[in-house]
Amino acid sequence: MLGIIRDITPIKSTEVFSLYGFTIANSTLFIMLIALIILAFGYFVVRKFSFYNPTRTQVAVESVYLGAFNLIQNIIHDEEKTKKAFPVIGAMMFYLVIANIIGLVPGLEQISINGKELFRTPTSDFNTTFGLALAAVVIINIISFKEKGIFGYFDQFFKFKGIWQGFKKSIGDGFLAIVDFCIGLLDIVGEATKVISLSLRLFGNMYAGQVLAIIIMGFVAFIVPSIWLAMNLFVGVLQAVVFASLVASYYMLATAAAEE
């Protein structure tokens, strides 16, 4: 069978150049390219949207926006909270959709200078997925801190008050309060695992998809890669939706706990 020879994508991104002591990797350049695409779309397309004479493009964009909003609202179960959270969660979702699938454009990731590839799918670089996950969890904790207050926020992790109240009732309630205190300490670990699970899930799926695509094209160059490309397109959109849905779930749980 006729195949295509290509090196396996390394886990570590490639340094393209340095700027004032900061390393600029090929995944970073791809992020900049995506940002330019989004800005260009907003300037040349969105600004021309009309309330009275919507074009097909406008109807399609608004349908996608409404579908994403309804998805997040179904998870949060509160329209007002969804309106507050969707600008951030929705931006993450749409960014990830673009970041996951733009690398599937033939030849784009093969553009190179001096033997260094200029572009790499951002989500196949762990630095990108870790940064997104960390930002999401930090923002959720800031919201939780704002809504619960300083004592309410730290009380969910360090339940000293519960121990004192438990022993006031009985010895048994006191020991149960100690167990609850230990569970609260585990919640601190839980916040860290949210970052790890979110970032590794997205990175693992996208990086594995790239590697498998290269392996498949190494065996056969016709038909099968097209099927795998279509499946990668679906997986890219799905992973973006999963990431945004999980962030929305964490936000919903954090705000629900604050209300209680």
> 3-state SS string over 56-118?
HHHHHHHHHHHHHHHHHHHHHCCHHHHHHHHHHHHHHHHHHHHHHHHHHCCCHHHCEECCEEC
Task: Please report the pLDDT score of residue 163 as a whole number.
Answer: 64
pLDDT exceeds 80 at position 74: yes
Contacts of 55 (CB under 8 A, 6+ apart): 48, 49
Mean predicted lDDT score pLDDT of the chain: 80
Alpha-carbon span 9 to 218, nearest angstrom: 13
How far is CA 124 from each of CA 17, 34, 105, 231, rounded to the nearest angstrom? 19, 15, 15, 16
Least-confidence region, from 17-26, 128-137, 171-180: 171-180
Average confidence (pLDDT) over 86-115: 83
pLDDT exceeds 90 at position 120: no
Alpha-carbon span 115 to 257, nearest angstrom: 53
**Annotated domain spans of the chain:** 15-143+195-259
How far is CA 84 from each of CA 7, 116, 142, 258, rounded to the nearest angstrom? 45, 42, 14, 16
- Both tokens of 107, joined, read 């030849």
Q: pLDDT (tens digit, 9 = 90+) per residue, 191-239?
A: 888 899 999 989 988 888 777 776 766 666 566 667 777 778 888 889 9
Q: How many residues does the chain have?
A: 260
**pTM for the full predicted model:** 0.80
Q: pLDDT (tens digit, 9 = 90+) per residue, 172-195?
A: 666 676 767 677 677 778 888 889
pLDDT exceeds 70 at position 143: yes
- Angle 105-71-69 (CA atoms, 0-180°, nearest 5)? 85
